[in-house]
C-alpha cells in the first residue's frame, strides 16, 4: 500500500460536541498495556513507538481509560506524545476497577469518579480532559448520583465533554437530564449489532458513537476469511471492509474489548 494513502483524515471528520474536530478513524490505547490489560507492556519502547506512529498516520483521536493497566496507558500516552499536538483529542474513562489481569469491576461512587478524574488529569498531564466517559454505570449506585458527579466535573471545567459506555437509549436519555452526552462507546462490529438502536439514536442527535471491538481483536481481518475474499475483489483490506459499514456515521476506533 502506498505510504501516502495511510492517512486517517481520509476517513472523514466528526465534531465531538459540535466543536472538537477529529478524524473518524482513531486509536484505542488499551493494548499498549501488559497481558490481560494488566501492568506495563512487554516491550515498552514498542508501545511508545506505536503511540507516536498513530500521530504520523493522521490519527487525532486517542481513546484510553484509567483502568488500562491500571494507569499505564494514560502514562504512556503522556510519555510518548506530551506536549500534545494542538489538534489531538485524548479521551479517557473511569468507573471500572482492576483487581488483576482481565478482571473488571464497576465502581460508580461519586467521590471515586471525581477522584479518578483528578488522577487522569495528572497522568495525562493536562488541566482539562477533552472527553471523559463513564466506563460503566455501576448498578450498585443510583445512576443519578453518578450522572450528577459527571456534571460537577463539567461545571468545575475539569472535563470539557462527557460520554457514556455500554449503555442503552434509556440510559442516554437519563444522563442527558444532567449533562449533554457528547459520546457513547458501545461494543459494535460487523457481526455484533446489538447496539444498532443506540447507534441510530446517536446518529440522529450528532452524538459521537465510538464502537469498541470493531475488528473483534483481529478476527474479522484474518487472511482467508470471507471478508478477505470480499476485500480482494474490491481492492481493499479485510479490516477496511469490516469497518466500512456506517463508517460515515461513527468514529471508527481500533479498540480491544
Which residue, among 58, 92, 98, has the nearest Cα to 76 in the 3D structure? Answer: 92
Active site residue 68: yes
Q: Could you give phi then psi for residue 146, rounded to 5 degrees?
A: -70, -45
Q: Report the DSSP pairing between strands 20-23 and 129-134.
A: unpaired
**Cβ neighbours of 51 (radius 10 Å):** 22
Among candidate residues 27, 68, 188, 254, the one labeled active-site is: 68
By annotation, the residues acting in catalysis are 68
Amino acid at each position: 500500500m502506498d505510504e501516502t494513502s495511510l492517512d486517517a483524515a481520509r476517513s472523514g471528520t466528526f465534531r465531538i460536541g459540535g466543536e472538537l474536530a477529529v478524524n473518524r478513524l482513531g486509536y484505542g490505547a488499551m493494548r499498549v498495556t501488559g497481558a490481560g490489560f494488566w501492568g506495563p507492556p512487554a516491550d515498552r519502547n514498542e508501545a511508545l513507538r506505536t503511540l507516536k506512529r498513530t500521530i504520523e498516520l493522521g490519527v487525532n483521536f486517542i481513546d484510553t481509560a484509567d483502568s488500562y493497566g491500571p494507569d499505564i496507558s494514560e502514562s504512556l500516552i503522556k510519555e510518548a506524545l506530551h506536549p500534545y499536538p494542538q489538534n489531538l483529542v485524548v479521551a479517557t474513562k473511569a468507573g471500572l476497577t482492576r483487581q488483576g489481569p482481565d478482571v473488571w469491576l464497576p465502581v460508580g461512587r461519586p467521590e471515586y469518579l471525581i477522584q479518578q478524574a483528578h488522577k487522569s488529569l495528572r497522568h495525562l498531564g493536562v488541566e482539562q480532559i477533552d472527553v471523559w466517559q463513564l466506563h460503566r454505570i455501576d448498578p450498585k449506585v443510583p445512576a443519578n448520583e453518578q450522572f450528577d458527579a459527571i456534571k460537577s466535573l463539567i461545571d468545575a471545567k475539569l472535563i470539557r465533554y462527557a460520554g457514556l459506555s455500554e449503555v442503552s437509549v434509556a440510559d442516554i436519555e437519563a444522563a442527558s437530564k444532567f449533562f449533554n452526552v457528547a459520546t457513547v462507546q458501545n461494543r459494535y462490529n460487523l457481526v455484533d449489532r446489538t447496539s444498532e438502536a443506540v447507534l441510530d439514536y446517536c446518529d440522529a442527535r450528532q452524538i459521537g458513537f465510538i464502537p469498541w471491538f470493531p475488528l473483534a481483536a483481529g478476527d474479522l481481518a484474518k487472511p482467508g476469511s470471507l471478508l478477505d475474499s470480499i476485500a480482494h475483489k474490491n481492492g481493499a483490506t479485510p479490516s477496511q471492509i469490516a469497518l466500512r459499514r456506517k463508517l460515515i456515521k461513527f468514529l471508527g476506533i481500533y479498540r480491544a474489548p
